[in-house]
A = this chain, B = another copy of it.
Amino acid sequence: MKDVPRSGRRQLLRMTAMLGGGVLAQRQRLLAWETPGKLGAPLGPYGERSPFERAVRWHRESKTPEAGSCFSPLHASVGTITPSSLHYERHHSGIPTIDPSKHRLVIHGLVDRPLSFTMAEIQRLPSITRTLVLECGGNSAGEWAARTGADVQRSYGLVSCSEWTGVPLATLLAEVGVKPTASWVIAEGADACRMERSIPLSKAMENTLLAYGQNGEMIRPSQGYPLRLINPGWEGNTNVKWLHSLKLTNQPYMARDETSKYSDLMPDGKARIFTYRMEAKSVITFPSGGQTLPAIGLYELTGLAWSGNGKIERVDITTDGGRSWTAAELQEPRLPIALTRFRMPWRFEGRETVIASRAVDETGYVQPSREALVAVRGGNSVYHFNGTKFWRVQADGTVTNVDA
């Protein structure tokens, strides 16, 4: 068998080397547990999670609850997939209720044959499946000015990972016939605000997906049911939900969400626009802000890394405030533009320390320090924060943001 969990074994060797045999200290010996002796709940058509599990998405209270962001509970995540129910959300005018039998995708503009497609027609076409990270361009925006997020959910929770299934946009563009003068695709959602983003034709031909499936079933309403544009590696906002129209043009639209928003105001007062790609980034999810280590002893330090450029090649961890860095174990398979789980055994000695992670992707891009990032991008930025993230572990085991 070639599927031996070598990674886990290497970690075990490290852990036992650290402790000289016993991986768990200070435990009670053979403690009996009274198992239930009566018939359990019957079979059912649709499984729900345990009532003991209460992790939910958090969002700010607002007078317009149709607009805002829901943050994924990263502190409670395991593995690399985000449950669809807990995938982050960013909405501008609420979640429309769409009957898939009535939904149409219209492709028009600089094409030979403007056409509309039903969902049934789209689902008949050759499809592909890709596991992809989505991250809001404004994820961890609070870290630009000060490290304000009390926990990893509220500060880094606008990132999630799903298995998406759909049709390459290139397939439908071949069907409508793109005119030689076309160079942009304007995508429009069916929500009340008609979310619009301009996508270069080169990206659309390269790997943009018209997705209808998420994690093995149809996309959920809050994720764009029944059809969502997926632009691998690009900021969340370009992955237009409830997609109903694609217009081929010879220039971008300069829509509200690519001019007044989702542009990067540089120190000299000029704005960079169309900064689509999300660069390499990582965050430790355990231990992280708001959590408490119950005792001195051995723990598995873990977190998530990702890059819009491709695969994560390496994640380094510091558990001494940045003086030394150690390579973490990376969960295989490392898929391009997907969440990669990293892990490292770590002994908490009951002394205050500061921990952080630093990702390197397959292009050689190294996640910068916050200071290096601010030195280039200044203090006006809102989007694309990807500086290294430090958590303070206090002597009593409580974990806080470094500036808290």
The interface of chain A, by Cβ under 8 A from chain B, is 1-5, 7-9, 11-12, 15-16, 22-24, 27-33, 35-53, 55-59, 65-66, 68-70, 76-87, 89, 91, 93-104, 106, 108, 113-117, 120-121, 124-130, 163-165, 167-168, 170-171, 174-175, 190-192, 194, 206-207, 209, 212-213, 215-218, 220-223, 225-226, 232, 244, 294, 297-300, 302, 310, 331, 333, 335-337, 341, 343, 345
Please determine whether A171 and B70 come into contact, CB atoms closer than 8 angstroms.
no
Residues of B within 8 A of A30 (CB): 106, 108, 114-116
| A7 CB to nearest B CB, Å | 6
Q: How far is the CB of A381 from chain B (nearest CB, A)?
A: 25
Q: State which of B11, B130, B226 has its C-beta within 8 Å of the C-beta of A126.
A: B11
Whether A217 and B83, one on each chain, are in contact in the complex, defined by CB atoms closer than 8 angstroms, is yes
With a cutoff of 8 Å between Cβ atoms, the chain B residues found around residue A337 in the complex are 3
CB–CB B46/A85 < 8 A = yes
Say whether, besides A12-B170, A43-B89, A232-B3, A212 and B78 are in contact (CB < 8 Å).
yes
Q: Tell me the nearest residue of chain B to A10, going by C-beta.
A: B126
| A35 → chain B closest CB, angstroms | 4
Are B95 and A129 within 8 A (Cβ)? no
Chain B residues with CB under 8 A of A165: 78-79
Structural contact, B56 and A45, CB atoms closer than 8 A = yes
Query: Could you say which residues of chain B place their CB within 8 Å of the CB of A50?
Result: 97-98, 100, 218, 220-221, 225-226
Contact of A115 among B29, B47, B207 (CB under 8 A): B29
Which residues of chain B come closer than 8 Å to A41, judged between CB atoms?
A: 66, 94-97, 221-222
CA distance A3 to B337 in the complex (A): 9
30 A-B Cβ contacts within 8 A? Answer: A2-B310, A3-B310, A3-B336, A7-B128, A12-B168, A28-B116, A29-B113, A30-B115, A31-B106, A32-B106, A33-B103, A33-B244, A40-B66, A40-B96, A40-B97, A41-B94, A43-B89, A45-B70, A46-B85, A47-B221, A49-B84, A49-B217, A52-B98, A52-B225, A78-B129, A80-B163, A83-B216, A124-B299, A127-B300, A129-B331
Nearest-CB residue, chain B, relative to A55: B217
Return the contact of A44 from the options B31, B53, B222, B297 (Cβ within 8 A).
B222
Could you say which residues of chain B place their CB within 8 Å of the CB of A66?
Answer: 39-43
Q: Contact check: which of B93, B117, B194, B216 meets A80 at CB < 8 Å?
A: B216
Max chain B CB contacts within 10 Å: which of A53, A59, A65?
A53
Cross-interface CB contact of A59 among B43, B70, B81, B127, cutoff 8 Å: B43
Partner of A125, one of B23, B70, B84, B120: B23
Q: Are B298 and A124 in contact (CB under 8 A)?
A: yes
What are the 4 closest A-B residue pairs judged by CB atoms, nearest first? Answer: A40-B94, A78-B213, A11-B126, A42-B65
